[in-house]
Amino acid sequence: MEYLRMSVTDRCDMKCAYCMPTGGAERAEGCDMLKFSEFLTLAEIFARMGVRKIRLTGGEPLVRKGILGFVRALGRVPGVEQIALTTNGVRLPRMAAELKEAGIDTLNISLDSLRPDRYAAITGLDTLTQTLDGIRAALAARFERVKVNVVVMKGVNDDEIAAFARMSLSLPVQVRFIEFMPATPSVWSEARFMNIDAVRAAVEEIGELTPATPQQWGGPAKVYRLPGAAGEVGFIAAVSRHFCDDCNRLRLTSSGKLMTCLFGKEDLDLAASLRGGADPRTIADSITAALAVKNAVRTLPGDPHDRTRPSMTCIGG
């Protein structure tokens, strides 16, 4: 296990319907956010166990005060070789250069529509211009890689697949199409789901796809390049295909629970261990025990009305 995702806050300035629990960002009971010092202690334990890449996510990681100092501290943890961050991009025009300087290596920016009215309807914020400026600011800051995450929803934004794919022709970004996952049961429906093969077919109408060079810790995306493109396109079959066998990621929720599978439940309360005074060795042993169940192939949350799962903002996507 070399890749850890940390949800550093369940708070967010947006309210994307497919992600937020119905009713908005009310903090779930018991969803008490970890302090940065606690995240750091856990990062040191994970790094000693072999984790090399850490992705900061949320909620919106850039709304958490002190995030730049935390990134700098994370960069000093022995063994951590790459720090990535996933953001809705709104604060990037101001923060891209500072994030690069603090030690973020790669950036994923979420963007589900290029039309201002639709963007506002999906996110609850009228900030398409800021996010597009944020992508430009990220490119200007010269991160190792900039990726644009697009969740494809039938009847919502599937008519923009070609426009997003064309973004990779002129900009050196990787545009990644992601299948819509049933994270928020009240919003997900079979009718809104679009299989990644159909998304890929729509992209292939623009031109032939050539496989791109795989990246270290690249994750489950299948990545290609359109003819003459400056960037790449990627496809993530988050729902239609199981990639459990070679899944290399662990998740730490904003409240300090370890999840060994996005579709599982919380496997281990690391916050409770830390606060109860457990020593690093004991915590590492409990993580090893939790990992023993990781490679079992899971299914999507079976019951769409199961409210015992933490929200996507708590898990971090």
21, interface contact from ligand SF4, ligand SAM, none, CB < 5-8 Å by kind: none
**CB 109, CB 92: distance < 8 Å:** yes
- The alpha-helical segments, DSSP class H, found in the chain are 36-48, 67-75, 92-102, 116-123, 128-141, 161-170, 196-204, 270-275, 280-291, 312-315
Q: Which of 177, 180, 235, 263 binds ligand SAM (CB under 6 A)?
A: 180
Query: Of the candidates 77, 95, 181, 203, which one interacts with ligand SAM according to CB under 6 A?
Result: 181
Provide CB contacts within 8 A for 290, sequence distance 6+.
Answer: 258, 260, 267, 268
311 binds ligand SF4 (CB under 6 A): no
59 contributes a contact to ligand SF4 by CB under 6 A: yes
The DSSP secondary structure of 142-208, one letter per residue, reads T-SEEEEEEEEBTTTTGGGHHHHHHHHHHSS-EEEEEEPP-SSTTT--GGGB--HHHHHHHHHTTS-
From the CB of 92, what's the least distance to ligand SF4, in Å? 13
Out of 4, 6, 8, 12, which residue is the one contacting ligand SF4 (CB under 6 A)? 12
Rule CB under 6 A: say whether 149 interacts with ligand SAM.
yes
Distance CA 2, CA 4 (A): 7
Q: Minimal CB distance to ligand SAM: which residue?
A: 317
Nearer Cβ to ligand SAM, position 21 or 317?
317
Position among 8, 12, 229, 247 found at the interface with ligand SAM (CB under 6 A): 12
Is there a contact between 253 and 7 (Cβ–Cβ < 8 Å)? yes
How many positions of this chain bind ligand SF4 (CB under 6 A)? 13
Least spacing, CB of residue 180 vs ligand SF4, in Å:
12
Q: How many Å apart are CA 237 and CA 239, to the nearest integer?
A: 5
* Contact call for residue 21 and ligand SF4 (CB under 6 A): no
Q: How far is the CB of 285 from ligand SF4 (least distance, A)?
A: 32
How many DSSP H helices and E strands does the chain contain?
10, 12
Using the rule CB under 6 A, which residue among 88, 168, 254, 255 binds ligand SF4? 88
Q: Which of 4, 8, 14, 314 binds ligand SF4 (CB under 6 A)?
A: 14
127 binds, among ligand SAM, ligand SF4, none (CB under 5 to 8 A by kind): none
Tokens 């496997």, located at residue: 267
Selection from 262, 251, 249 nearest residue 298 by Cα: 262
Q: Which residues bind ligand SAM (CB under 6 A)?
A: 12, 18-19, 57-58, 60, 86-88, 110, 149, 151, 178, 180-181, 183, 238, 312-313, 316-317
Q: Which residues bind ligand SF4 (CB under 6 A)?
A: 12, 14-16, 19-20, 58-60, 88, 110, 312-313
